[in-house]
Amino acid sequence: MTTRHADVAREMARLATEIERHNYLYYVKDDPVVPDAEYDRLLRELEKLEKAHPELAADDSPTRRVGARADEGFREVTHEIPMLSLANAFDPEEVAEFDERIRRRLECEVVEYVAEPKLDGLAVSLLYENGRLVRGATRGDGRAGEDVTANVRVIRSIPLKLRGEKLPTRLEVRGEVLMTRKGFERLNRRQDENDGKRYANPRNAAAGSLRQLDPAITAQRPLEFYAYGTGVFDGVKWPETHAGVLELLGEFGLRTNPHREVVEGLDGLLRAWESLNARRDELPYEIDGVVYKVNDLALQERLGFVSRAPRWALAHKFAAQEELTRVRAIEVQVGRTGAITPVARLEPVFVGGVTVSNATLHNYDEIKRLDVRVGDSVIVRRAGDVIPEVVSVLHERRPKNSREWNFPEKCPVCGSDIVFDEGGVIARCSGGLFCDAQVKETIKHFASRRAMDIEGLGSKLVEQMVDAGVIKTVADIFELDKETLVSLERLGEKSADNLLAAIDAARKTTLPRFLFALGIPQIGETTAGQLASYFGHLDAIMSAGEEALQEVPDIGPVVAHNVVEFFAQDHNREVIDALVDKAKIAWPAVQRVADDARLKGKTFVLTGSLSGMSRTEAREKLVALGAKVSSSVSGKTDYVVAGADPGSKLDKAERLGVAVIDEDALMEMLQ
Ligand code: D41
């Protein structure tokens, strides 16, 4: 063997050992230390080396098995028909090759597929004999898994008896057991309270919950099941397509995923992927891609499988939402109300579709819980529009000389003392409007789209103007002149003119917007709207006591206190006077909601986009008629207004039997 050969062999052995260790942590312990993306990379790297040097590939290489053997404690179940694995694709080219391969083998022009969400749970097999559930097993390594019959029996979406007259004598249903995001968060909170182990993500929580030796524990875990296919079946006429099989399983009383779609050809596949990718975060559970399957079962049979994966199926993955990177520094950020948030400055990493270089650490408690230090390797997560966060630390990779991070005692921006609230969790800068960070955030919020909507007055410009001493309060915005603006770096004449016009336009606003723009702690758009319609006038709100404020729907003692506190501050009153008297900010009179208002006491939820007005306008109009507009659907919701491309709120409304109306019906109500 040459030196180079020996090096390659050593590298392959290293990769194999590393992958096996991750396999053990993932499959046996349900407690992985690296994100899936890192695991996939290791596996692909080993595969690449094995391809280039087949003579060095070990017979027992981890690339040759997917999954893991059973842990002790559960009886082993050998699957009568092996549970195959899925080939992966990460980009459209790989999907095109998949479709081409199939068309070539079948010698046909267009293939019909089913595209279904790839649920991020764990695969299980359920055996029904004469309609009764007799056995549940994990997939394990595909050949054999663990007998988890007692545990699957406690999952409510798994029927113990199938419905219908003509039932198969034997039927093996295959599907995924998963935990919803909400269920996962609830579980971790409960684990924290009981000093139990936290789970890294919903999938591990599902796996850990299903593989409890005591089914009573499994019963307390919010697990759900969705069927995606079958193994053995005897005794009934069988459908000719995969879509037909799913339909039939539904008739038997099994839950199948409603977001599946029958599509044609490569275009159909990619469109389905785009659509699910866009709606990924609206689903109540995590999905990590789309599974494509040839619809016709006879064609599936003709295609067969290679090395344990069917040729007729493919998992087209989404961008990973978790990645591995390193913490360069830990700093704190000061928010609008002085709340101080620690943030990790990271080595930039591509995750969730964007490059991330900052992640929130939430608060001091979280830092202690994670035990994170500068120099640590961490897993960052970015899901949808949610702020990226550090989810865990790879303590075994910690550099030797690292030191514990201590919360600063002084505000890094203004030098004032940092104080902690009673609970000791939330830190605040005590500098108030003496703190430039708070001033900047207050002004940014005031100018933002949903507040005063001053176009062109963005984050960077506000910071520049505060740093230059051009503005100190939100009222100063309305004193700006062209000369001052063009003296600022990066602001040309044209932009200055546009900005002045936008500022002028903002003088005409609405009372709810104005109240929201003031940035009173915990007063969001909804509460601002309710305050406006309950009191009708700004003066009335400013002079209301805590008791009167609590008469407003949804305002409790804490928010009422915040409002009183805010208006009690001289500097806030001065700014409001300057805005109203000097800057001439004005709004149309607000109709107080009469006790007999038409929509009084009705709760609405808006979803999807409206064509005739913005959601903000719709909300204002509804509130003016006495309605409450909520952000989530519950049993208390009276109407869900579904615009174009509605999200999961619509599904939920349908599930709960809440009335759903379209934009036309809404317009009629608003007339
Ligand atoms: O939602 C899933 N995770 C899912 C997994 C799915 N929708 N379909 C699947 N189909 C298969 C084949 C095509 C092999 C019957 C799968 C899986 N397999 C699978 N799950 C875990 C390993 C393989």
The CATH number of the domain holding residue 44 is: 1.10.287.610
Domain boundary, last residue among 44, 64, 84: 64
Mean pLDDT score, 244-267: 96
Query: In this structure, are 526 and 624 located in the same domain?
Result: no
Query: In this structure, are 10 and 137 located in the same domain?
Result: no
Query: In this structure, are 352 and 473 located in the same domain?
Result: no
Instruction: Look at residue 263 and tell me if it is in a domain.
Output: yes
Kindly tell me if the per-residue pLDDT of 339 is higher than 50.
yes
Nearest to 174 by CA among 151, 152, 198, 194: 152
Kindly tell me if the per-residue pLDDT of 58 is higher than 90.
no
Q: Which amino acid is at 380?
A: V
Ligand 1 pocket residue status of 323, Cβ below 6 Å: no
Of the pLDDT bands very low, low, confident and very high (cuts 50, 70, 90), residue 70 is very low
Question: Which of the pair, 210 or 32, is modelled with greater confidence?
Answer: 210
Query: In this structure, are 226 and 301 located in the same domain?
Result: yes
Return d(Cα 571, Cα 600) in angstroms, integer: 36
Instruction: Look at residue 22 and tell me if it is in a domain.
Output: yes
Nearest to 278 by CA among 353, 202, 228: 353
Of the pLDDT bands very low, low, confident and very high (cuts 50, 70, 90), residue 68 is very low
Q: What is the pLDDT of residues 371-400, one digit of tens each?
A: 999 999 999 999 877 899 999 999 999 999
Share of the chain above pLDDT 70, in %: 98
Strand partners, 340: 334, 427
Tokens describing residue 68 = 């893991």
Q: What is the pLDDT of residue 378?
A: 96
Instruction: Look at residue 660 and tell me if it is in a domain.
Output: yes
Instruction: Look at residue 424 and tell me if it is in a domain.
Output: no
Kindly tell me if the per-residue pLDDT of 353 is higher than 90.
no
Domain tally, the chain: 5
Instruction: Look at residue 430 and tell me if it is in a domain.
Output: no
Mean pLDDT score, 637-646: 90
Q: For Cα atoms 293, 203, 360, give the angle at the middle one, nearest 5 degrees.
A: 120
Per DSSP, 213 falls in state S
Q: Which domain CATH number covers 641?
A: 3.40.50.10190
The CB density around residue 554, as the number of other CB atoms within 10 Å, is: 11
Which are the contacts of 301, defined by CB distance < 8 A and separation ≥ 6?
none
Instruction: Give the mean pLDDT of the chain.
Output: 92
Mean pLDDT score, 73-98: 95
Structural domain of 642: 603-670
pTM over 0.75: no
3-state secondary structure of 231: strand
Query: In this structure, are 189 and 304 located in the same domain?
Result: yes
DSSP-derived pairing of the beta strands 309-310 and 132-138? unpaired
Mean pLDDT score, 516-537: 92
Question: Which of the pair, 266 or 630, is modelled with greater confidence?
Answer: 266
Of the pLDDT bands very low, low, confident and very high (cuts 50, 70, 90), residue 84 is very high
Q: How far is the CA of 213 from the centre of ligand 1 (A)?
A: 25
Query: In this structure, are 528 and 635 located in the same domain?
Result: no
Query: DSSP assignment of 248-277, as one string?
Result: HHHHTT--B-TT-EEEEHHHHHHHHHHHHH
Q: Which domain CATH number covers 472?
A: 1.10.150.20
The H or E element spanning position 22 is: helix 3-23
Return d(Cα 40, Cα 90) in angstroms, integer: 11
Q: What is the pLDDT of residue 574?
A: 94
Query: In this structure, are 327 and 302 located in the same domain?
Result: no
Q: What is the pLDDT of residues 12-28, one digit of tens each?
A: 999 999 988 888 787 76
Q: How far is the CA of 228 from the centre of ligand 1 (A)?
A: 7
Between 25-34, 89-98, 211-220, 515-524, the lowest mean confidence (pLDDT) is in 25-34
Query: In this structure, are 238 and 125 located in the same domain?
Result: yes
Return d(Cα 113, Cα 270) in angstroms, integer: 11
Question: Which of the pair, 123 or 593, is modelled with greater confidence?
Answer: 123
Torsion of CA 596, 599, 603, 604, to 10 degrees: -170
Q: What is the pLDDT of residue 72?
A: 62
Of the pLDDT bands very low, low, confident and very high (cuts 50, 70, 90), residue 608 is confident
Query: In this structure, are 304 and 159 located in the same domain?
Result: yes
67 Cα nearest atom in ligand 1: 22
Query: DSSP assignment of 641-663, as one string?
Result: EE-BS--HHHHHHHHHT-EEE-H
CA distances from 475 to 304, 445, 446, 502 (A): 72, 13, 10, 15
Query: In this structure, are 148 and 263 located in the same domain?
Result: yes
Q: What is the pLDDT of residue 600?
A: 83
Instruction: Look at residue 168 and tell me if it is in a domain.
Output: yes
Q: What is the pLDDT of residues 266-324, one digit of tens each?
A: 999 999 999 999 999 889 999 999 999 999 999 999 999 998 899 999 999 999 999 99
Return d(Cα 381, Cα 352) in angstroms, integer: 8
Query: In this structure, are 290 and 344 located in the same domain?
Result: no
Instruction: Look at residue 87 and tell me if it is in a domain.
Output: no
Ligand 1 pocket residue status of 116, Cβ below 6 Å: yes
Ligand 1 pocket residue status of 317, Cβ below 6 Å: no
Query: In this structure, are 146 and 214 located in the same domain?
Result: yes
Beta strand spans in 404-474 (E): 418-420, 427-429
Instruction: Look at residue 590 and tell me if it is in a domain.
Output: no
Ligand 1 mutation pick, 291, 293, 318, max ligand atoms within 8 A of CB: 291
Of the pLDDT bands very low, low, confident and very high (cuts 50, 70, 90), residue 1 is low
Mean pLDDT score, 455-481: 95
Q: What is the pLDDT of residue 499?
A: 96
Q: Which domain CATH number covers 286?
A: 3.30.470.30
Ligand 1 mutation pick, 98, 125, 176, max ligand atoms within 8 A of CB: 176
Active site residue 621: no
Strand partners, 290: 117, 316
